[in-house]
Amino acid sequence: MNDLDTRAGPAAALRAAAPALLGYAAVRALGLLVLALWSAERGKSAYTLLTARWDALWYSRVASGGYGYEVRLPNGDVHADLAFFPLLPWLERGLAAVSPLSYADAGFVVALLSSLAAAWGIFAVADHLHGRRAGVCAVLLWAVLPVGIVQSMAYSESLFTALAAWSLYAVLTDRWVTAGSLALLAGLTRPVGVAVAAAIWAAAVASFVHDRATTTGTKGRPAAATKRRPTPPPPLPPPASPAPPSSPATSAPPSPSTAPAPLPPASAPAPPSPPSAPAPVAFPAPSFGQTRSAVTATGARPSSHAPSPAVTALRPGAPLLPRALGMLLAPLGAVGYVLWVGHRTGRGPLGYLDVQAGWRNGFDGGWAFARFVAARFSSFPSALAGAALVAGVALLVLLYVTCVRGRQPLPLLVYSGVVTALALCASSYFGSKPRLLLPAFPLLLPLALALARTRTRRSATVLAMIATASAVYGAFWLNGSGPP
């Protein structure tokens, strides 16, 4: 999906994304089928697990009665519904008001539609950077994540990922006001909405710096160096020398077939030969972080003095006002809700942090998570879980380093970096960290690009095996005792 496709209309963009969306729907249908069979075997309702447990209950309660509900635990902790951002409850309430659906049913519908929108947004970003095949692979990799079943739950992860993906795509295609508006909505969905705002601010600042450097370089260049001297006309050919006279007795008249062509007059220049068309030049495929349009639209390589594509993936020279307006809109959602919570609780601008502290959530730089992982190695069975956690964190770091080395566009690097840091460095419930990483889809782009380069049969086999394992794990996970 390039810029021309998206501007041609949603129908053309949807046709381009159809293989990715169909594949995503198939993977999610498999997960739901395995969950239904597993839950029936254990005497549980799969639909209840998806719509009426854990966070889904809190969202539906906010949708039905507004904010103000809290639970006080024996140890003194206070679980208040103010910890949950309002966009999903608003959508549940609106859908329930215009349909016979309950709030839980409305949350499930919003989650399903949002997951499709998220898959489409992930495809748009990956297709814009690496082509349609990589876009399909990126969507399928996001679908087969071990915690992919959360994408079908009445949670806010799918809604947030959809808003974040399309906001990032809008940044990459210079739709700054759209990007800021979607970031505002993302900030009303989850606390990690600050990652989308940070990505937009980083991209805008980088583009401002790039434009200023370009303008300064153009103004500082001397005028004589920018003017091209006229090309002198080609020299005239030398006059032809007269042939020596020949004797009539010895020279025979030339035959018509062997007679030379008449020479042009000495004073007339030789007619110029028609210019030949330049030979087509084949340019290499775009690098990992370079957009396809940057190569195929201009047909030129970036200058050796140009900034890295991680900064210049955005088109320079965009109007100042849309960029500034996008920057202004981006943080308003998250900042507005946090300030409202502080006002409601009477604890000032940082009152939301006190609400999160009641849930034992905070930011400690990953110290609590490190102690949790270290405690797994106290005995042999749990040591396997500790080793798996260490391997998972190492894989995340490796993927992010690969994105940086591959010169992924700056807004994607900032977004995935903030999402990953908030997930790993927060002292929240450790079983929830895998689903907190679900929106960090740019980390999957190196894997998607590698998968796109393999043969179709091999990549389909790998994805089918991972999808099956993910469906089984999701059913086992939701039927467990702890909240996901």
Q: Supply the pLDDT for residue 429.
A: 76
pLDDT for the residue 386: 86
The reported pLDDT for the residue numbered 255 is 44
pLDDT for res 409: 97
φ/ψ of residue 339, rounded to 5: -65, -35
**Which alpha helices (H) appear in 346-379, and where do they start and end?**
351-358, 367-375
Residue whose tokens read 């109007």? 319
Average pLDDT across each block of 10 residues of the chain; the chain has 484 residues. List them in order: 55 91 97 96 94 93 94 90 96 96 96 97 97 96 95 96 98 96 98 96 92 68 47 57 45 44 47 44 38 38 37 56 95 96 91 91 86 86 87 94 96 97 86 90 96 94 96 92 63
Q: Which residues contact 181 (CB under 8 A, 6 or more apart)?
A: 329
- Helix pair angle (194-219, 410-424), 10° resolution: 150
Residue 407 phi, psi dihedral angles, 5° rounding = 60, 50
Residue 79 is inside which H or E element, if any?
strand 78-80
CB neighbours (10 Å) of residue 122?
A: 32
* pTM of model > 0.85: no
Please, are residues 176 and 323 in contact by the beta-carbon 8 Å criterion? yes
Q: Which of 79, 73, 57 is nearest to 357 (CA)?
A: 79
Q: Locate 123 and state its tokens.
A: 């495809």
- How far is the C-alpha of 327 from the C-alpha of 331, rounded, in Å? 8
